[in-house]
Structures are given as C-alpha cells and as structure tokens.
A and B are shown apart, each in its own frame.
Chain A
Amino acid sequence: MSETMKADKELNLQGLMCPLPVVKMSKAIHDVPVGGVIEATATDPGVLADIPAWCKSTGNEMLKTQKEGKVIRFWVKRQK
C-alpha cells in the first residue's frame, strides 16, 4: 500500500519531458502558500535528479518520492 500525504495542489507532469517538469513546477509553486505541499506525478525519469536540484536552487524542499510502475509520485513543499 502506498502512503499518501496531504497536499494543497496536485500537479500532473506525466508524459512531459525535460525541461517541462521543472518549468511547470516553478510556476505551480506559486499556487500554494508558503508551507504548502504539491503532490506531483511524472513519467520522465529525469525528474528524480532534476526536482531535487530545482529544490536546492529555489530553496524548496522535496519531501518524498515513490515509484508506482512507470509513474513517479513526489511531494514538494514550498519553503519561501
């Protein structure tokens, strides 16, 4: 059973390839308040490295990742 975390916004990045996942994330982060969480799904395996790097650069936090077959589900928290 996969755990679910409470999220303020869902972001579907499935089927999108680099650089779209980080581009869309950078826009979506403004849709949640500081401290808010985005739950995203993606199929591009590049996100496993890209999103943490994006978080480091923008000062946000990657909370959790889980793989569900071809889909990668992850949670990002807006820190500022």
Chain B
Amino acid sequence: MTDEKKNKVTLIMFSGDLDKALAGFVIATGAAAMGKEVTMFFTFWGLKIIQKGGPTGTSLFGKMLGFMNRGGVDRVGPSRLNMGGMGRWMFKKMMKSKNVAQLGELRDMALDLGVKMLGCTMSMDVMEIGRGDLIDGVSDCVGVAAMLGEAAESETTLFI
C-alpha cells in the first residue's frame, strides 16, 4: 500500500508569478519524467497560468479584476523586479539565450507527460473565471476535498 504513495506528487499552484510557475512546472515535468503521477491544482493567482488569456468576469469587480489580472502564460511576470513588465521581458530573453524552456513550452510538456491539471472551483467562482476561460488541457475543476484526497496519496505535496 505504501508503494503507491511513492509514485504520486501533488503541486498546489497558488502563485501567478513567472518564477514560481516555472519552478512548479520544472518540478512537475521532472517528476513525470521520473515516472511519478503528477497532479497540479491551480488556485487564485495560479489560475492565470491555465487561462486562455481573454477577458474574464461578469460583475463590475469581476471584470476589473479580469482586466488588471489578465491571464495567459504570456502575461505572467516575475514575483520581484517585474518593473511594469520590463523584468518579465528581460527574464524571457535571458532564458531563451540559455535554451531554457519557456513557461508555455513547459506547460505543454507537462500535459504531454500526462500531468493532470485541475482548477480550483472556489477561486474560479470568486474571480469569476469560467471553465471556458481555461485551456483545454485542464481535465477538471474541483474543490479542496479532491485536492486533499490527491495530497493524502502523494509522497510529495508542494505549495507554490
């Protein structure tokens, strides 16, 4: 029974920052490459990384949030030194010059390796982001109990 625990990894992607998202995806793809069953649970700011990038929100606040917190992999910036977007651009250039995979590529690689991506229904509801605003790779939208269920079976659970 304990052997099954050795093969699961759960990542809670709370942050919508480029640097943290990158770390999360490197860990997810690395774990998947090592034969682990990986689940990524995207909540709050993390939802940005699995959004298609269009406008979101239905109420006034929801629309304002959707405007200021536009989703999509191209819009995530580093947690520090974003400098109005300059930092994001600089980081992307540096990564490209050193042949490090970009966030979008890592996300596609993760999906290709069978990483399961889930959206958090609560934060989706609060931020007024619908299932249709998320990329196709997201297999389901679940609540905390489902996430904890996965975490309980995982050898490693990380909050990013």
* Chain A residues with a Cβ under 8 A of chain B: 15-20, 22-23, 25-26, 50, 53-54, 57-58
Contacts and interface: CB of A to CB of B under 8 A. Distances in A.
B29 A23 contact: yes
- Main secondary structure on chain A at its contact with chain B? helix
A26 B32 CA distance: 9
A22 B30 contact: yes
A23 B99 contact: no
9 A-B pairs with least C-beta separation: A26-B33, A57-B34, A19-B30, A22-B33, A23-B33, A19-B29, A17-B100, A58-B35, A19-B26
A23 B35 contact: no
5 contacts: A16-B99, A17-B98, A18-B30, A23-B109, A54-B34
B99 A26 contact: no
Given A17-B98, A17-B99, A17-B100, A26 B35 contact: yes
B30 A58 contact: no
Interface of B: 26, 29-30, 32-36, 98-101, 106, 109, 113
A54 B99 contact: no
A16 B33 CA distance: 15
Nearest to B29: A19
B113 A23 contact: yes
Given A18-B26, A19-B26, A19-B29, A26 B101 contact: no
Nearest to B27: A19
A57 B31 CA distance: 9
A61 to B, nearest CB: 15
Contacts of B34: 22, 26, 53-54, 57-58
B100 A23 contact: no
A23 B31 CA distance: 9
B101 A20 contact: yes
